[in-house]
Amino acid sequence: MSFALENGCAGGACYLASALQWLRNCPFPARRYRPDHLSIDMLRAGRGDGASTKAVDVDVGEATVVLSISDKERPPDTKRSAPTSAKVLFLDGIRGLAAMLVVLQHSTEYMNGVNVGATAVDAFFVLSSFLLTMLFLRKAETLLAQGASYRKWAFALVDYFLKRFFRVYPFFALVAVLLWRLPFEYQNRFFLVENADKYDLFKVLTFDFDHRYLMLWTLPLEIAYYLFIPVFVVGMARLRGYWWVGFIPLQAWVLYDGFYVFRSHHILLRPHFTTFLQGSLAAVAFVRFSSWCKASGFEFRTWHAVGVRATEYVIILLLISECFRSLLCEWVHQFVPVSPGDPFISTLLASVIVIEMVMPSAVSTTLEWNVLRHWGKISFSVYLLHPFVIFSETISKKTNYFDRLFERLILLQVLATTSFYLVELPLQRAVQQLSRALAQLETKDFGALVYAVTHTTKKQRFQRSFIA
């Protein structure tokens, strides 16, 4: 019996050893890491369960997938490096918060004593100029480093302007046509058109100054500044290490205009130009500082972090004080002048954005709340369509305050989300296809192609005339 038991144990051990050997040699498929985010824009790496993460960008044509690999899952021989994608999701949260403030301002039922709409508009201006300048600056630096030809620069500019045009104008034109088809009663109620004969569709579409109704006055200002960004970026890129030579006087100009130039709604670009410029200057500062940190290997120490964080919280307190004309507002304006028009917040907001881009904290984490980010995603639809909801006579006649509040909130959310998926998203996909077509055209020898087609056409005509 003991002999049989020994044989059984030996056989079981041999079988177990064989099974382990087979498992060791079995070619299991590589583990697939779930993408934390899938977005067309730049993304931040997601956080793991208590472990730090590393962002790995994988270009898949239409989008950038950010794979988050935790420290526990990283192979031991993997070299650690800084994340390659900037943490910009909180910018969507700022945009969503600004969209909410615009709705509050135009509703005339909430926060009547404070002009939060002006704050929201400045936030939109700073955000758009910051993102566009940052993206185009990196593109321009790449082209300059490659010694790109005028043809490559031309394709880059065409791609830039196509994306800007399709992002703003088609949806605006659709709303303008819809408003044109409505009776005067609704034109007056929703967009404050003064008389039945004043709404001229052509003048609205061409941004005539007297036909910029309600919040539509901001769109021509944004489009006009889009034309300036490439000039500004190329100038800064060519300065290279001496970028501060142009940065310092421009920043001084922004501060002077903020304290002494009158800014308000429904005016031309000039008073608001420095608000846009502040976003562009912040983008230059962030890109240059990031490049310097990468080249020098600079790392923030504890006392650096404490100083930066204390400065940021003071700036946030000043920002809130300026927006709501409270807290430190009276004390601060004993030393600096009060802006003659809307509150001057562009420099404060841009400073917070740059600090959070460099050293993310609980501030950016809070702004990454999914609700704020969703409102940021649909912010353009909210911006253009909210008058149809908040000025609705059916809702305004409700006697219960909370009926009006929740009906406006829910209807606007549904309308803007539907508009995003039916209008904005198809337009974004269309411009992506155009961008890819331009990239393919750029790789081809377009001049030789035109010459070949022209030469072939002339040769065919000559042969036909000779045969005739």
**pLDDT band with cut points at 50, 70 and 90 for residue 345:** very high
The per-residue pLDDT for range 109-138, each reduced to its tens digit, is 777 778 889 999 999 999 999 999 999 999
Q: Which domain holds residue 36?
A: 28-85
Among 85, 100, 126, which residue terminates a domain?
85
pLDDT reading at 87 higher than 80:
no
CA dist 363 and 366 (Å) reads 5
Per-residue confidence (pLDDT) for residue 453, from 0 to 100 = 46
As given in the structure block, the two tokens for residue 95 are: 């945009």
Q: Tell me: do 45 and 155 sit in the same domain.
A: no
**pLDDT for residue 14:** 55
* pTM of the predicted model over 0.85: no
The answer to whether 57 and 41 have CB atoms below 8 angstroms apart is no
Confidence label for 456 from pLDDT (cuts 50, 70 and 90): low
Within a domain: 202: yes
In a domain, 464, yes or no: no
Q: Mark which of 68, 85, 102 sits at the end of a domain.
A: 85
25 or 112: which leads in pLDDT = 112
- Would you say residue 131 lies in a domain? yes
136 occurs within a structural domain: yes
pLDDT tens by residue, 180-192: 999 999 999 999 9
| Same structural domain, 69 and 115 | no
Same domain, yes or no: 76 and 95:
no
Instruction: Give a yes or no: residue 412 inside a domain.
Output: yes
Report the distance separating Cα 24 and Cα 465, nearest Å: 77
Residue 453 lies in a domain: no
* Whether residues 143 and 38 fall in one domain: no
Mean pLDDT of the chain: 81
Paired with 37 in beta bridges are 66
| Domain match, 45 and 116 both | no
Q: Which pair of tokens denotes residue 48?
A: 């793991």
Same domain, yes or no: 393 and 434:
yes
Shared domain check, 164 and 65: no
Note whether 362 and 216 are same-domain residues.
yes
Number of domains in the chain: 2
Q: Are residues 273 and 207 in the same domain?
A: yes
* 343-375 per-residue burial string, b: 16 or more CB within 10 A, e: under 16: bbbbbbbbbbbbbbbbebeebbeebbeeebbbb
Confidence category of residue 11, pLDDT binned at 50, 70, 90: low
20 lies in some domain: no
pLDDT digits (tens, 9 = 90+) for 125-175: 999 999 999 999 999 999 998 888 888 999 999 999 999 999 999 999 999
Tell me how long the chain is. 468
> What are the angstrom distances between the C-alpha of 357 and each of 91, 182, 289, 314?
10, 45, 11, 17
The domain boundary, picked from 85, 103, 134, lies at: 85
CA distances (Å), origin 304, targets 57, 61, 90, 290, 442: 29, 39, 23, 16, 45
Q: Among 294, 120, 97, 301, which residue's Cα sits nearest to residue 215?
A: 120
Question: Do 56 and 179 fall within a single domain?
Answer: no
d(Cα 358, Cα 163) in Å, to the nearest integer? 27
What lies within 8 Å, CB to CB, of 166 at 6+ separation is 427, 428, 430, 431, 434
35 has a pLDDT exceeding 60? no
- 96, 128, 99: which is closest to 369 by C-alpha? 96
Percent of the chain scored above 70 by pLDDT? 76
- Read off the pLDDT band of 326 (50, 70, 90): confident
Helix (H) or strand (E) holding 35: strand 35-39
pLDDT of residue 25: 55
In terms of Cα–Cα distance, which of 340, 341, 318, 342 is closest to 330? 318
Average of per-residue pLDDT across 74-92: 55
What the block records as the tokens of 22 is 């087979």
Q: Find residue 64's DSSP bridge partners.
A: 39, 59
DSSP state of 241: G
Q: Do the beta carbons of residue 233 and residue 250 sit within 8 Å?
A: no
Question: Does 78 score more than 50 pLDDT?
Answer: no
- Summarised one tens digit per residue, pLDDT across range 233-289 is 999 999 888 999 999 999 999 999 999 999 999 999 999 999 999 999 999 999 999
Task: Examine the domain organization and report whether 51 and 173 are in the same domain.
Answer: no
294 and 437 both lie in a single domain: yes
Q: How far is Cα 96 from Cα 376, in angstroms, rounded to an integer?
A: 4
CA separation for the pair 41, 225 (Å, rounded): 21
136 or 329, which is more confident? Answer: 136
The answer to the question of residue 54 being in a domain is: yes
